[in-house]
Amino acid sequence: MSLLRDLGELVSSDRILTDELDRLCYSYDSSFISRLHRFIPDAVVLPRSVEETAAVVKYAARKGIPIVPRGAGSGESGGAVPVQGGIVMDMSTWKDVVELDVANMQILVRPGLVHDELNRLLAPHGLFFPPDPGSSKMATIGGMVANNSSGLRAIKYGVTENYVLGLEVVLPDGRVITTGGQDCRALKNVSGLNLTKLFVGSEGVLGVITGIRLRLWPRPPSRGLVMAAFPRLEDAPKAVMAVFQAGMLPSGMEIMDSSAIEAVNLYRPDLNLPLCEAILLFEVDGDPPGVAWQVEQIRSICEQWAREVEEALEEERMTQLWEGRSLVAAAVSRLRSEGTRAFIGEDISVPLSRVPEALRGIKSLADKHQIKVVIFGHIGDGNLHTAPVIDPDDEGEVARVQHLADDIHRLALRLQGTVTGEHGVGFVRSQYARQEHGLALDAMFQVKKALDPLGIMNPGKIFPSPVKGAEADGKGTASTAE
């Protein structure tokens, strides 16, 4: 109760939650791990100003209480889950647009603004924020910055970090800093150490992001789409490579494997996707003649390997062709009557040349562990999403899916890839950090230690347990072997 009383002096009482039921709602995110364990915070606060945020952080630092920043909780890595209890800072209700500066192609927003809302308000100005997660209608801009999120346009437009001009951050001791220049509106800025990039992708372990200045991009006037059905899985990556080698950079290159096709056809039989080993979708954008030319080129490239190729330049047909891909996540559980998708081992990214090995490797791991796995994702940048379908009430399957996820992560590292292309390390992938980063992990931990010597910011995330041990015994080193 003293926590409630203390917080009540810092934040309006209607934005502090301490009831058990309310706190239970913050014990999960979209990760499978948060289905298996309950990590319940001691309190939840919903700040609406930088002063409130800083006051709560200062209080937590004084008392040594963990702070866990949270957006919409759509993350799939347990990043927003309070694994060591403490105070969850729910930033999702603080969603103002502070300044839309069309003349300077930028916008300053608060962290709770949802991605889809941002792009809807930018559309009348002919502008957009290109990164586009599949969770667009949920994900907050704060969560996207903290996870350096992206989506199917990353192949051409890059990821969130390419659009962040500056950040307002409450540091773990309660000080408030503005990165990217205190009053800077320039689109290019190489002054000083790039703290903006340090905080993008920091997953809440270095501070709470309270303001985000984003660079905006002109909305391209037209789009075109090619959908191609490949009888052999291995031929799909060949077509992707051939498109690059022909000098084109599509704005999206997506793959669905045979199980994704099967799931979508079960969910929406009217879409009647062609039965084959892989479907590829290529989206191009730009000026209308250029788009039409690229669509023709991509069609003829795909025809070398594909059984069916369809192109579309009309909005209505493009929407229909995209529909199957956009429904995969929802359709996955149709593969089994008692099945549900487990968000685990779902986000590896591998070098382009290793995509065929990764695709076949995942399939054989699925066979080994006797778990049905749907594969889809952003083949253009090697980012593959794997969706295991299990009965979550079957303990044997729950154990097998965790072994499968471990094998998938290790496969990615063996193929010179990464365990996460876009969803982040969080709680669930920290055990691979040493293998993936080597000594660089120590330097990361030194940065963490310098900014957060008490270790109150989102503890238990990004850094593997040996590092957590180092944190606890105050040695300030992460060099212990894993």
Ligand X SMILES: Cc1cc2nc3c(=O)[nH]c(=O)nc-3n(C[C@H](O)[C@H](O)[C@H](O)COP(=O)(O)OP(=O)(O)OC[C@H]3O[C@@H](n4cnc5c(N)ncnc54)[C@H](O)[C@@H]3O)c2cc1C
| Residues numbered 309-348 forming contacts with ligand X, rule: CB under 6 A | 329
- Which of 349, 402, 420, 458 forms a contact with ligand X (CB under 6 A)? 458
Q: Which two tokens stand for residue 127?
A: 């502008």
The distance of closest approach from Cβ of residue 428 to ligand X in the complex, given in angstroms and rounded to an integer, is 11
147 binds ligand X (CB under 6 A): yes
139 binds ligand X (CB under 6 A): yes
- Which of 47, 66, 75, 201 forms a contact with ligand X (CB under 6 A)? 75
The distance of closest approach from Cβ of residue 86 to ligand X in the complex, given in angstroms and rounded to an integer, is 12
* CB contact set of 93 (below 8 Å; sequence gap of 6+): 15, 46, 48, 112
- 79 near 71, Cβ under 8 Å? no
Quick one: which segment of 4-12, 231-239, 242-250, 418-426 binds ligand X (CB under 6 A)? 418-426
Dihedral angle sign, alpha carbons of residues 133, 135, 137, 141: negative
- Which of 73, 174, 252, 459 forms a contact with ligand X (CB under 6 A)? 73
- Picking from 166, 212, 156, 210, the residue whose alpha carbon sits closest to that of residue 188 is 166
- Which of 223, 423, 434, 449 forms a contact with ligand X (CB under 6 A)? 423
- Which of 113, 209, 284, 390 forms a contact with ligand X (CB under 6 A)? 209
- Which of 60, 108, 208, 239 forms a contact with ligand X (CB under 6 A)? 208
143 binds ligand X (CB under 6 A): yes
- Which of 41, 47, 151, 345 forms a contact with ligand X (CB under 6 A)? 151
State how beta strands 67-70 and 87-90 pair.
parallel
146 binds ligand X (CB under 6 A): yes
- 376 near 385, Cβ under 8 Å? yes
3-state helix, strand, coil in the chain (%, to 5): 40, 20, 40
The distance of closest approach from Cβ of residue 235 to ligand X in the complex, given in angstroms and rounded to an integer, is 25
Provide the mask over 25-64, with x wherever binding to ligand X is found by CB under 6 A and - wherever it is not: ----xx----------------------------------
Q: Which two tokens stand for residue 320?
A: 């229909």
Measured in degrees and rounded to the nearest 5, phi and psi for residue 462 equal 65, -50
Give one DSSP letter per residue of 46-109, joined into a string.
---SHHHHHHHHHHHHHHT--EEEESSS--SSSTTS-TT--EEEE-TT---EEEEEGGGTEEEE
Quick one: which segment of 144-152, 189-197, 213-221, 260-268 binds ligand X (CB under 6 A)? 144-152
**Contacting positions for ligand X (CB under 6 A):** 29-30, 68-76, 79-80, 91, 111, 133-135, 138-140, 142-144, 146-147, 149-151, 203-204, 208-209, 329, 422-423, 426, 458
